[in-house]
Amino acid sequence: MNIATPQDDPIAALVANAALPFETARAMPKSVYTSPDFLQAELDGIFAKEWFCAGRSDGLASPGDYLTLDLAGRPIAVIRGRDGKLRAMSNVCLHRMSTLLEGTGTTTSIVCPYHAWTYDLDGRLRGAPAMAQNMAFDRAAYCLPQIRCEEWLGWVMVSLNPDATPVAEHYAQVSEMIGDFAMEGYVQLFQETHIWDTNWKVLAENFMESYHLPVCHAATVGGLSKLEDMDCPPGLPSFNYHYILKDEGFKLALAHPANIRLKGDWRRTTILLALYPSLLITLTPGYFWYLSLHPEGAAQVRILYGGGLSPDFMDDPEARGLFGEIKELLDRVQDEDKGCTEKVYRGLCSDLAQPGHLSHLERPNYDFARYLAEKVAGQGA
């Protein structure tokens, strides 16, 4: 029997919060951001179950290209095999359990840095020095545990959940909505990892609303964004989104003349997609940038930050230079968001803090809270 009340149980508090109609909705309860129990529920019910973005496919284009990440407490490696197939597997040695690969790079095999057990790119053990005298040791029985890995619209998606719905099906409504952007062809020009001192959801929520743009980003993009040009439709089960229409002054945010896929207002539409749980994409007809978020404890977030150009602009001699300017601008925008989201985390840790009501421009935040409530409350059922 569950006798917890919303006051002492962050999951119950979130479920009560998410049950309010949008017209009277409030920001999420503080404990959702600070409670170690809630964090564990997120790791178990969300990050160990859902699809997580490890980066872009073109970052792992050739056989032997790899990246590493921690997913819900598990070190994972994603590696392009000799057969061209991308695989994700446990990045932990099957001998005495050292981690194997570090960071990103290209390799011809996976050599453990402890005693040099050596694995093929598909995870099978290829060699192990001085093991012939152990009668039970059978090299062929060793293979690094594999996890789900799928490429979709240029994204590398991984999941610890063997029963996860295939990515293309899970996010089918995303592809339907933005298919004409042909995001699979967008070329990544930078990718970085950062750690900020805020809860991952504070940053996710910051991305989901453009209500803060005129103020938090007054020194950068604030002037380009008018509250009346923002549209925040209700979200869908696996994602939420909102749009901003850009005016003619921002060349890279408009469709290239060679782009005949996008029609009408789509040619100047920036769409901000929040693919649950934590892939946040700003997609414009000319360029894109994204954040993939993972908690580092309750008070820190690990951020994969990348972006690049749409293929139409890759041959445009001006575009590289313009994108360089955009990257500088995006970095300044990230610094502003870092300031705002770290202030929110510091603020919500106060016992005097109280979550207030949401604007109609925070509809995606409301949908996100409902998604979280369903996932964390549903997992024990």
Where do contacts with ligand FES occur on this chain (CB under 6 A)? 93, 95-96, 98, 112, 114-117
By C-beta, is 31 or 278 nearer to Fe ion?
278
Q: How far is the CB of 91 from ligand FES (least distance, A)?
A: 11
Question: Which of 50, 65, 205, 337 is close enough to bind Fe ion by CB under 5 A?
Answer: 337
Q: How far is the CB of 103 from ligand FES (least distance, A)?
A: 18
Number of C-beta neighbours around residue 156 at 10 A? 24
Q: How far apart (Å, rounded) are the C-alpha atoms in residues 52 and 61?
A: 19
d(CA 53, CA 154): 11
Could you tell me the strand order of the sheet in which 155-159 lies?
52-56, 155-159, 146-152, 86-90, 74-80, 65-71, 104-106
Among left, alpha and beta (phi > 0; psi -120 to 50; other), residue 64 is: left
Nearer to ligand FES, 112 or 244 (CB): 112
Question: Partners of 275 in the beta sheet?
Answer: 239, 279
| Separation CA 59–CA 17 (nearest Å) | 40
Cis peptide before 277 (omega within 30 of 0): yes
State the minimum distance, in angstroms, from the CB of residue 93 to ligand FES.
Answer: 3
Stretch that binds Fe ion, among 237-245, 278-286, 316-324, 330-338 (CB under 5 A): 330-338
Instruction: Please identify, using beta-carbon distances, which residue of 38 and 241 lies nearer to Fe ion.
Output: 241
Q: Which does 281 bind (CB under 5 to 8 A by kind): Fe ion, ligand FES, none?
A: none
Using the structure block, give the residue that is written with the tokens 């994409």.
Answer: 281
Binding to Fe ion by residue 209, rule CB under 5 A?
A: no
Q: C-beta of 209: minimal distance to Fe ion in Å?
A: 9
The H or E element spanning position 280 is strand 279-283
Judged by CB, which is closer to Fe ion: 42, or 336? 336
| Crossing angle of the two packed helices 10-18 and 363-378, in degrees rounded to 10 | 130
Considering the complex, what minimum distance in angstroms separates the CB of residue 96 from ligand FES? 4
Number of residues in the chain: 381
> At 160, phi and psi to the nearest 5?
-80, -10
Residue with nearest beta carbon to Fe ion: 337
Q: Which residues contact 273 (CB under 8 A, 6 or more apart)?
A: 174, 178, 239, 240, 241, 279, 280, 281, 282, 283
**Which does residue 316 touch among ligand FES, Fe ion, none (CB within 5 to 8 A, set by kind)?**
none
The CA distance from 235 to 228, in Å, is 19
- Among 30-38, 78-86, 329-337, 367-375, which window interacts with Fe ion (CB under 5 A)? 329-337
Decide whether 120 or 331 has the Cβ nearer to ligand FES: 120
Looking at the Cβ atoms of 98 and 104, the one nearer to ligand FES is: 98
Q: Which stretch binds Fe ion (CB under 5 A): 10-18, 124-132, 331-339, 367-375?
A: 331-339
Binds 112: which of Fe ion, ligand FES, none (CB < 5-8 Å by kind): ligand FES
Residue 218: which of Fe ion, ligand FES, none does it interact with, CB under 5 to 8 A by kind?
none
CB 68 to ligand FES: min, Å: 15
65 is a site residue for Fe ion (CB under 5 A):
no
Pairwise CA distance, residues 66 & 189, whole Å: 17
Q: 74 and 305 in contact (C-beta within 8 Å)?
A: no
**40 or 98: whose CB is closer to ligand FES?**
98
Name which of ligand FES, Fe ion, none residue 337 binds, using a CB cut-off of 5 to 8 Å depending on partner kind: Fe ion
Work out what residue 327 binds among ligand FES, Fe ion, none; the CB cut-off runs from 5 to 8 Å by kind: none
Q: What is the smallest separation between the CB atom of 221 and Fe ion, expressed in angstroms?
A: 8
Tokens read off for 241: 């989104």
**3-state secondary structure (DSSP) of residue 220:** coil
CA–CA dist 140, 119 (Å, integer): 11
Looking at the Cβ atoms of 118 and 165, the one nearer to ligand FES is: 118
Q: Residues 131, 140: contact at Cβ < 8 Å?
A: no
Specify the residue, 54 or 244, whose C-beta has the smaller distance to Fe ion.
244
By CB under 5 A, name the binding residues for Fe ion. 337
